[in-house]
Structure 1
Amino acid sequence: MLQVAFIRESKELAIAGLNKRNFKDAEQAIEKVLDLDQKRRETQAQLDAQLAEANQLAKTIGGLMKAGKRDEAEGIKAQTAELKVSSKTLEESLKSLESELQENLYNIPNIPHESVPAGKSADDNEEVFRFGDIPALHDEAKPHWELIKEYDIVDFDLGNKVSGAGFPFYKGKGARLQRAMINFFLDEALDAGYFEVQPPILINEDSGFGTGQLPDKEGQMYEATADKLFLIPTAEVPITNMYRDVILNEEQIPAKNVGHTPCFRREAGSWGAHVRGLNRLHQFDKVEIVQVRKPEDSYKALDEMVDHVKGLLEKLELPYRILRLCGGDMGFTSALTYDFEVFSAAQQRWLEVSSVSNFETYQSNRLKLRYKVDGKTQLLHTLNGSALALPRILAAILENNQSEKGIAIPKALQAYCGFEHIA
């Protein structure tokens, strides 16, 4: 969440940033925070003054009792009793103000980086890079949802029987190709200096609030209501929450972690031809890279993460482009996001396969993730990226590499999956 000190010192900048996001009632939201903060500070000052007065009266009473002035001491005790009642009222008021302030801050998104373009939707995103040639397919080329049936490598009907729509079975060479991609992505991350972790796939509410999935995306997550746990929408959540309520030492920074997990998203309200087949699922696998960096290093780290994802796609021989998301299309917690899209030749459309983002201090302020600088604690920056999400990568590999003889497997994956073609 935003820091109150930042809002207090840079009110106009905060309002301008929220307006770039097309955040409704930006000025009113900021003014509400400032009003609550002012009341909170005034209440805290009153409480501190009363506690100090009560402390001083206690010392006075002690002195009077020692001097044998019991009646005078008893008279002052009445004052301390009144102060206790008044202080308790102020404490309750302070707690209420702090809770309301926190709630308001939770509902305000991050301020976009200065490089974020203005805009309202995906149509306003800015293309910043493109790689590779669009493959020319043969006349009988098919979209992936037909190819997976033809080669019997992904079964949506069986998944629907066992779980429901959007929970496919991967079979035979389809399952082996999934495993190959996971291992390839993990090995590439390890070669780039990331530390592998295998995190839980269920999180508690504190973790959801820590990385900003709550309260923003509560309706998009599957919930285990009996235990008040949520199935993760991405490995970013448990991996970043490893550092909740942590103060890192200099030698622990940068922290670079990678993890593979299944991911679960309700995708409520999604329908239409653009979500056919593997294009949008309720359960899918993803390898996620997460970094914790000093503020002065975080945008260099973001560029490194972008280059890492570029390298993966180029080794997979997939044509791709990179978009810098506009203010209206950014995630709630992000300060700057780059989306990677691969071209799906049979569908003749771009498919998003990765988002790489810098959250600056937005998550770390919620997480209380800090490090010491000259004896003082300072918030760190958090970053994450998909490296990569598997379903649409698989869809693009199947569609772009198809021929009359079958589907060619990218050279980078052949040693991992043990075959060169699906035929």
Structure 2
Amino acid sequence: MAEIKVPVFSESVSEGTLLTWHKQPGEAVKRGEVIAEIETDKVVLEVTAQQDGVLQSVTKQEGDTVLSEEVLGTIGEAAASTPAPDQALGPVAGETSAGGTAVQADSQGQQPAAARREDLSPAVRKIVAEQGLDPAQLPATGPKGNITKADAVAAAQGGLTYQGPQSAAQPVSQQAAASSPSAPAPAPVSQVPPGARPEQRVPMTRIRQRIAERLKEVQNTAALLTTFNEINMKPAMDLRKKYQDQFVAKHGVKLGFMSLFVRAATEALKQFPVVNASVEGKDIIYHGYYDIGIAVASDRGLVVPILRDTDQLSLADIEKKIAEFAGKARSGKLTLEEMSGGTFSITNGGTFGSLMSTPIINAPQSAILGMHNIVERPVAEQGQVVIRPMMYVALSYDHRIIDGKEAVQFLVTIKNLLEDPARMLLEV
């Protein structure tokens, strides 16, 4: 018999939350297979089986707080017996799990539809309870005709049921959501009775809590100031259009605007090293390298993976790495190492249509560049009014060490490079 243990956390992480069991007691597992996921305040860690066998027992339920190297359960021989349904699948009506709220039985002693546990995995059971779903109405696409987590999520997103007090067969959403360590977004409400005022209480995930703490800490300690400028993106757009096919043919990846901004920011950081510096107590730490964080939106919150040594990366290298980070962020596969450090950051609100914003720096960094939406508008060129695709850019910085002159000149340098991108090597 082998113990299933929590992975070793980094020094900056003290505990985590057991997010999901991918296997139920009694199910077969293979060596290297992911059997559980743990959410920390930075990343989601995978727990893999160390041998072939059967998940024999679990000592921690979804939503429980776990510590580094704590035992989660055991894997036994293939002949190991399957625990009884109530033991394998958690508490039944009238019982509560850690941090949870019990689902009460109705007046005839029967469990409501959302609490039925036949053939439901822990992950599916959690979604059913949170979203007030009736298992009898859900599609079942699993290999054994069972309801998968994807089935439950699709049903919740489709708004198959109304989560309100007038739904007698469903628990009130506020009660169900209280037991979730990482509750999904509320399902769309359909067929809401007139006058109904549904609400849903969703706890913050550990990552969201950490984001909130860090952002508030920055506001409380740094002297934040933002300077703005605008960039005529026509030269960059023309260049990308002209060389895109050759770039893709040679490098196997498309040329985007982010790689051009990373290259321009790197050159500007070389000219203004204080923008690449950080504050530590009463000291200024000047970094002789360029590690740029790229803000990426994920389902669990904003994450900032780091492009290392950007002065040594080609445009193609940057594009490939950004695509890799985006994929890992969507699947929750980013590691602590990939998000640690960084001397400067770039965030692109234009992806979502933002026209202008004042980004908050990512401590202990001292500055962050905000990109925005490209909008055609009239501008004056050589005494003539012309229509150009323009982008507002913002540089938020820590005024404790960066003066306004340096911040403005840094942003102007980026503007000049983007409006004459031929100076940046395309490698095509």
Q: TM-score range by the shorter chain?
A: under 0.3
Q: TM-score, normalised by structure 1?
A: 0.25
Q: Which has the larger radius of gyration?
A: 1
Q: TM-score, normalised by structure 2?
A: 0.25
User: Of Structure 1 and Structure 2, which has the larger fraction of its residues in helix?
Assistant: 1
